[in-house]
A and B are shown apart, each in its own frame.
Chain A
């Protein structure tokens, strides 16, 4: 029982970068833009945040720079797909290639470097009084670091945003039917830009969590495919930010299950266990596409909007 609690506690931490990236991609897809550049945006956030943190020593600066770096990538994506109406799939791939390159390039001199002490202090576990006394779940969810809580809060805020605010409802309308939204006086391009930028910033924070808190040292290609898993998790959570929390933590668990099994002296090759997250992602994809009540996401997803085609 105790070891299960420890495992789940670790799973929440491993799942946090996935949570940020997943809700980031949800925000992007809700306005009708499929951004396959999540992996690249995460890497940009990871390297931007790490560089800023390494040089400034300030966690706040690191987080802000991480979000901004990823937003540069997000802006390129938005300019290409919204203004120039380029193919979203290929543009996303371009962003991934670019982001991987940028992180490799900037990170070259940082490999193996460690962040200043201020980071471990700021991101040490903070217990939330009362809530952390809940049996079992108290330790799992409420004995975490600041960044993890930030993820919970972001997911919950987004849920509220899409359910109850005018802006959120308008954003959904843009993703469902941009022509109708436009006719209702919603500035489609502006909504798309704003949400793509917000989504990229969240993806960047997901990457920054890896380089600033989870590892916390610089290593090449720190995301290792998590950005792609996030794209799948969007489908898993059926475009609901709150459901992304569950998905992210399940996959966080899969991410670390290998180490735990080794500790239990179960002799399966590490390399085969490493396949698990990817295998389960595929199973989730299949499961979701087979089920009858499955919502296929925003109706205008990955279709460019051109007013004159109305």
Chain B
């Protein structure tokens, strides 16, 4: 039958081809499924693309969704590269938005630039601190960070709901549970018709790339990811590196919260993130832990999400179809890794028997 053996490292271009093949296979699988629910896949794909690029407004909307997704993926990647499974992006986004909102509401008469900077920095610190809690316990006692970060998502979510329905509720909103809108001072400016989040995303991409490839901490992150023991023997202070990198990871997610609150919803709502922290994990993984790939992958993902919400109205296909598709793409991409790492070869049993005889 088949024999599985480990491969020497595959060429980068070949790796890329395998991954593209995985995405194509998932598109085919998706088509089968779209047929099964009674639609023409080509029409559905066309409608999805139309929903993303049909007008300038739609293109801007698609990019608008790329920004938080890409930034959060970069954040998540900083932790994932060390095999620190930060799935708390969602909570870090919300807590970052919370800090930014605090300043936006209470210091609205500050000069615009100063206020925006204050909001950004506070959001990054808050997001960073929120992720630092599990990191401290992880490095001190080996506490499981996956469940810890996830539980913090729920706590952050409940806390924001509490604020929205309780102490921060807008008294002018006729009893409607919403937090007051930001003043103009607290809203990110636009460049080329789009809020400056896109510039932040591109900058952050370069920064994370530089961190990974040209700094000491980036090198340490990579070594810890490969083997914590190697890092220890090499004399690295694993503890401190992990905490620093996780702080940065949460910080970037916190920044996402600030951008979403300031530029997109113009206030804090508990629906502010709605799954970006989780989608970011997929984006980070599909980018193969390469920051330069993140904006592109995030953009493809944004197309998927925007397209899915568009076909919901056009074909009455529920929005949750997008989740199924995302899950499927991830599953095929994970399967593709196998063909990158291992070689399948056909073993001729009879020939083998002949040798012994």
Chain A residues packing against B (C-beta within 8 Å): 36, 76, 80, 84-87, 89-91, 93-95, 97-105, 108, 225, 228, 231-232, 235, 269, 271-272, 274-275, 278-279, 281-282, 285-286, 289-290, 296, 306, 308
Residue of A nearest to B320 (CB): A104
Contact in complex: B327, A278 (CB < 8 Å): no
Contact in complex: B147, A228 (CB < 8 Å): yes
Contact in complex: B144, A101 (CB < 8 Å): no
Contact in complex: B318, A105 (CB < 8 Å): yes
Report the minimal beta-carbon distance from B2 to chain A, rounded to whole angstroms.
11
Contact in complex: A272, B147 (CB < 8 Å): no
Contact partner of B334 among A86, A100, A108, A231, CB < 8 A? Answer: A86
Chain B residues packing against A (C-beta within 8 Å): 4-6, 85, 87, 137, 141-144, 146-148, 150-152, 154-155, 158-159, 161-162, 165-166, 278, 281-282, 285, 318-328, 330-331, 334-335, 337-338, 341-342
Contact in complex: B338, A86 (CB < 8 Å): yes
A interface SS class: helix
Residue of A nearest to B270 (CB): A271
Contact in complex: B318, A308 (CB < 8 Å): no
Contact in complex: A97, B278 (CB < 8 Å): yes
Contact partner of B323 among A104, A290, A308, CB < 8 A? Answer: A104
Q: B338 contacts which chain A residues (CB < 8 A)?
A: 84-86
Q: B151 contacts which chain A residues (CB < 8 A)?
A: 228, 232, 278-279, 281-282, 285
Contact partner of B330 among A94, A103, A104, A275, CB < 8 A? Answer: A94
Contact in complex: B143, A94 (CB < 8 Å): no
Q: B282 contacts which chain A residues (CB < 8 A)?
A: 93-94, 97
Q: B4 contacts which chain A residues (CB < 8 A)?
A: 306, 308
Contact in complex: B324, A102 (CB < 8 Å): yes
Report the minimal beta-carbon distance from A111 to chain B, rounded to whole angstroms.
11
Q: B152 contacts which chain A residues (CB < 8 A)?
A: 278, 282
Contact partner of A86 among B166, B278, B320, B335, CB < 8 A? Answer: B335
Contact in complex: B166, A278 (CB < 8 Å): no
Contact in complex: B166, A269 (CB < 8 Å): yes
Contact in complex: A105, B162 (CB < 8 Å): no
Contact in complex: A235, B144 (CB < 8 Å): yes
Contact in complex: A98, B321 (CB < 8 Å): no
Residue of A nearest to B5 (CB): A308
Report the minimal beta-carbon distance from B232 to chain A, rounded to whole angstroms.
18
Contact in complex: B158, A84 (CB < 8 Å): no
Contact in complex: A271, B137 (CB < 8 Å): no
Which has the most chain B C-beta neighbours within 10 Å: A85, A98, A271, A289? Answer: A271
Contact in complex: A271, B158 (CB < 8 Å): yes
Q: B335 contacts which chain A residues (CB < 8 A)?
A: 80, 84, 86
Contact in complex: B166, A232 (CB < 8 Å): no
Report the minimal beta-carbon distance from B99 to chain A, rounded to whole angstroms.
19
Query: A101 vs B137: C-alpha distance in the bound complex, in angstroms?
Result: 33
Query: A263 vs B303: C-alpha distance in the bound complex, in angstroms?
Result: 48
Query: A228 vs B147: C-alpha distance in the bound complex, in angstroms?
Result: 7
- With A86-B337, A98-B328 as contacts: A289 and B144 at CB distance below 8 Å: yes
Q: A93 contacts which chain B residues (CB < 8 A)?
A: 87, 278, 281-282, 330
Beyond A80-B334, A84-B338, A97-B282, 5 additional contacts (C-beta under 8 Å) are A80-B335, A85-B341, A94-B330, A232-B147, A278-B151
Query: A99 vs B323: C-alpha distance in the bound complex, in angstroms?
Result: 9
Q: A225 contacts which chain B residues (CB < 8 A)?
A: 150, 154
Query: A249 vs B309: C-alpha distance in the bound complex, in angstroms?
Result: 40
Contact partner of B162 among A84, A231, A269, A278, CB < 8 A? Answer: A269
Q: B161 contacts which chain A residues (CB < 8 A)?
A: 271
Residue of B nearest to A102 (CB): B324
Smallest CB-CB A-B distances: 10 pairs: A104-B320, A101-B323, A98-B327, A101-B324, A271-B162, A84-B338, A97-B327, A289-B143, A289-B141, A94-B330
